Amino acid sequence: MKRRALVAAALAGGAFLAASSRAKAEPPREDIDGDLRDYYGGERTSAWVVLGIGVPAAVAGGVLAAQPGDFSRGLGWPMLTMGAVEAIGAVFYAVRVGGEIDHYESLLARDPAAYRAEELDHIEGTTSRFVGYRLGELAFTLAGAGIATYGFASGRDAWRGAGIGVGGMALPFLVIDSINDARARRYRDDVRAFRPGLGAAPGGGFVLSLSGAF
């Protein structure tokens, strides 16, 4: 009988230590809600930053493209097209982020387990897409540098302007998306660590049930 009691106590102690360790590793509900707001708030801020770059670039590009010089036109068209595309995309993304905040906060409050499953799938897709975004922006940056180098070497103003325009527009977006990617990966790790209802009891304690005969 004494041996059975010792075994039961040992199992209970082990379960308590494992539960306590897990409780420390897993962020509580209010923390993940803060992480959610921080992530999407950062995304919305990033969208407005891109808009703030894209609109002036598009306007300046339009003015330059209308000038008679080869360098001005070569510089202006990349600024106009890339700035306009980024600005339009930024507006749509900022609006979408507002909806995502409402959706995931509501889902977290209603069903934390469903929130984790859906948001983890969503943020995994986001981080994987950032690889493609950054590679594309890096390619445009390097291509712009190459075109500009050719323009300077050959004395062709149009190529010189185009290279500066393409590379000059792609580089800041590469930096912005690198920051966004790092933020998305931190949030992904927070969502992964969040495991609602895993051994948790109402009131913050842990439930231990032992069954079977000793």
pLDDT digits 0-9 by tens, 144-156: 999 999 999 999 9
Q: What's the pLDDT score for residue 29?
A: 65
Within 8 A by CB and 6+ apart from 31, the residues are 190
Q: What's the pLDDT score for residue 31?
A: 86
Hey, what are 187's tokens? 């949030």
Q: Decide: 15 and 58 in contact? Cβ < 8 Å.
A: no
Ramachandran angles phi, psi of 69, nearest 5°: -75, 145
- What is the tens place of the pLDDT at every residue in 90-142? 999 999 998 999 999 999 999 999 999 999 999 999 999 999 999 999 999 99
**pTM exceeds 0.95 for this model:** no
